Amino acid sequence: MPRKTTTRERLIGTAAELFWKQGYAQTGVNEIIQQAQATSGSFYHFFPTKEDLLLAVVDHVAEIFETEVFGPASEAAGNAVERLFAVLEHYRQRLLDSGFIFGSPMGSLAAEVSENHPLVHARLVEIQTTWTERVEELLTDARDQLPHDLDRGSLARFVVSTMEGAALQARVTHSLALFDASVAQLRDYFSLLESPERHVEPIPVQVRPRPRMQPQAADWRSW
């Protein structure tokens, strides 16, 4: 892999950064070309339109999450819950390394782009779904540490929402305070879930079956 960076790769990489920093619409093609040290001709050779570049950037981001956030975390030490928090730790590191521009890159792109670019929007939803499934898998691996009546799908969605919200706010405030607070609270929640009085083994006799959310969530119709 001593191969040098190709023009195509440079274009995608710098476009990704500029899109995170300034948004898609605010970033001109010329700006990308200039900063990637390419030319107009080669740009339109690789990407017939700006939207094609956007799609490539989205895939690029998905790849980063795979290779630098979820991937490494799944090989982290400790039990499944620890691996889940390793995901957050890696996210945090990306946030820090990028000077806070890598905050909810999917979410903010989606917010800007969803209306006018259905193709891109569909891809973004797809990626987000993948993340939620990844988290749910980790929760399934951790099922023995968690209450047996836990709604893992719901908890996975919660984790992803929190992750994205915290990252977005870290980006906006240029500070990790909110991100760290959120992670700490999430850890506290997990430690309560893992506590013995809550963690009843799948034994017929159930100790004080505290009513879970679903019943009283009746008025929160889910669509």
- Looking at 32-40, 55-63, 78-86, 163-171, which segment touches DNA (CB under 7 A)? 32-40
Based on the shown chain and the rule CB under 7 A, indicate whether residue 2 belongs to the binding site for DNA: no
Question: Residue 64 corresponds to which tokens in the numbers above?
Answer: 């980063």
| Amino acid sitting at position 59 | D
CA gap 54, 60 in Å, rounded: 10
Give the binding range for its own copies (CB under 8 A) out of 31-39, 53-61, 63-71, 149-157.
149-157
Among candidate residues 125, 128, 132, the one with its CA nearest the CA of residue 158: 132
* 95 is a site residue for DNA (CB under 7 A): no
Nearest to 35 by CA among 11, 5, 56: 11
Nearer to its own copies, 24 or 70 (CB): 24
Nearer to its own copies, 8 or 50 (CB): 50
Whether 170 and 178 have beta carbons less than 8 Å apart is answered as yes
Contact assessment for residue 135 and residue 160, using Cβ atoms and an 8 Å cutoff: yes
For its own copies, the closer of residues 61 and 164 by Cβ is 164
Q: Which stretch binds DNA (CB under 7 A): 34-42, 61-69, 180-188, 215-223?
A: 34-42
62: Cβ–Cβ under 8 A, 6 or more apart, which residues? Answer: 127, 130
How many of the chain's residues bind DNA (CB under 7 A)? 20
Beta carbon of residue 10, minimum distance to its own copies (angstroms, whole number) = 21
Q: Which stretch binds DNA (CB under 7 A): 12-20, 42-50, 68-76, 168-176?
A: 42-50
Q: Give the residue with the Cβ less far from DNA, 38 or 110.
A: 38
CA distances from 193 to 145, 147, 155, 199, 200 (A): 8, 7, 11, 7, 10
Residues 10-29 that bind DNA (CB under 7 A): 27-29
